[in-house]
Amino acid sequence: MRLLSLQVQDFRNLPAVQLAPSPHSTIAVGQNGQGKTNLLEALYFLATLKPLRAGRLSELVRWGSQAARVTGRFLLKGAEREISVEVGGGTRQALVDGKKAASLEDYFGGVSVVAFTPDDLEVIKGGPDARRAFLDRAVFNRFPAFLKESREYARALKNRNRLLREGATVDAAYLDAYDETLARAGARLYARRRALMAELAPRAQATFASIGRTADPAVYGYHPAHLGADFAHADEAALASALREALSARLRRDLDRGFTSVGPHVDDVSVTLGGRSARAYASQGQQRALVLGWKIAEIENLEAAMGFLPLLLLDDVSSELDPERNAYLMGYLARSGAQVFLTTTDAGLVRAAAASDSLWLTVHAGQVATESPSQP
């Protein structure tokens, strides 16, 4: 998979950008607040249809404009394909070769992207919501059907929560039918997350061992508390019935509170170092190394599973890592041969990931200019 060209119009502070990225590294350099992250965000949005950081789609549209548009031409399994996404009036439209995409599968068609941002580096010490989102981005990359499946779950959850809020008037048989749908959709999410973690955890552990500067082993785990000891081996039907049991066991409490308190939407990922919670005990540098281990594992795992490397988007990560770990990451990027977009305020921090065919860009007040390789 390779991105051949990118066009961005009225996306955040970028009025118009057109570029042909390097097959290896494309490096955007600029001061704070100029639009570097916006450029990565445009690309991330194109490849996932999800905003990287915005809460609402309307935030993506350049102030004063009606609509934003991002278009990318990809080389996928030997064939060229153009995808575009337009946002306007709070909705988005996905296009394939200029026509409305028939389905999400049709739109994505194998496009895969891994983003790495300074927020990710904080994920160990943050709350479970951020860790869950972090996990789910990796699950979606590995199993693209997960996007549709997690939407089905979200819909079932919303319906059940609506019923719970009706409280005493709710019909038990009616609620039961909702529980059945929710448990089936939830079991699918459990199984997807479990499958991803089974592949990823050993790789992340091994990468951490090279960069952790500690003899303590890292363990990355996903084990929903209410699912019991046989979670690792239970089939999807067993997972669904375990979730149903948990739903009924908490029904009283959920009716009181008006929301569903158990299921994949409240799960967490556990990360331990030397058997202790990394969140509570690991140093900031170790926590960041744990995330770096995960991200590199995610990329390696996608390559092993899909036979090609995803597009990598790194938003000013280098300034948040210590020199040794940054050197490890830059060395990894250079060796991997991946197509990568990097942003930085300091070109020196990322130079080790550059090659003679790198494309250097400068970003200033929403204008993106190509620099000759010798300049930065």
Ligand X SMILES: Nc1ncnc2c1ncn2[C@@H]1O[C@H](COP(=O)(O)OP(=O)(O)OP(=O)(O)O)[C@@H](O)[C@H]1O
Binding-site residues, please?
30-37
Cross-strand pairs, 364: 367
* Closest listed residue to residue 34, CA positions, set 376, 373, 369: 369
Structure tokens, 79: 């064939």
Site residues, ligand X (CB under 6 A): 12-13, 30, 32-38, 59, 61-63, 316, 343, 345, 363
**DSSP string of 157-226, one letter each residue:** HHHHHHHHHTGGG--HHHHHHHHHHHHHHHHHHHHHHHHHHHHHHHHHHHHHHHHS-SSSPEEEE---GG
CB nearer ligand X, residue 30 or residue 212? 30
* Closest listed residue to residue 8, CA positions, set 93, 84, 99: 84
Looking up tokens 């202790």 gives 276
CB of 58 to ligand X, least distance (A): 8
Do residues 42 and 14 lie in contact, with contact meaning Cβ atoms separated by under 8 Å?
A: yes
Q: What three-state secondary structure class fits 143? A: coil
Do residues 57 and 90 lie in contact, with contact meaning Cβ atoms separated by under 8 Å?
A: yes
CA 169 to CA 64: how far, in whole Å? 47
CB nearer ligand X, residue 14 or residue 200? 14
Structure tokens, 102: 């028939």
Name the burial class of residue 327, with classes exposed (0-12), middle (13-18) and buried (19+) by CB atoms within 10 angstroms of its CB. Answer: middle
Name the burial class of residue 215, with classes exposed (0-12), middle (13-18) and buried (19+) by CB atoms within 10 angstroms of its CB. Answer: exposed
Q: Which amino acid is at 364?
A: H
Extract the annotated binding site for ATP.
30-37
CB nearer ligand X, residue 355 or residue 365? 365
CB of 13 to ligand X, least distance (A): 3
CB of 232 to ligand X, least distance (A): 40
CB nearer ligand X, residue 31 or residue 283? 31
E strand intervals along the chain: 2-11, 14-19, 25-29, 67-76, 79-88, 91-96, 99-100, 113-116, 218-221, 270-273, 276-277, 311-315, 340-344, 359-364, 367-371
Looking up tokens 């399994």 gives 77
Give backbone dihedrals phi and psi of 375, rounded to 5 degrees, phi first.
-70, -45
CB nearer ligand X, residue 37 or residue 112? 37
CB nearer ligand X, residue 301 or residue 362? 362
CB of 10 to ligand X, least distance (A): 8
CB of 339 to ligand X, least distance (A): 20
CB nearer ligand X, residue 14 or residue 218? 14
CB of 88 to ligand X, least distance (A): 12
CB nearer ligand X, residue 57 or residue 201? 57
CB of 260 to ligand X, least distance (A): 34
Name the burial class of residue 169, with classes exposed (0-12), middle (13-18) and buried (19+) by CB atoms within 10 angstroms of its CB. Answer: exposed
* Closest listed residue to residue 156, CA positions, set 129, 134, 189: 189
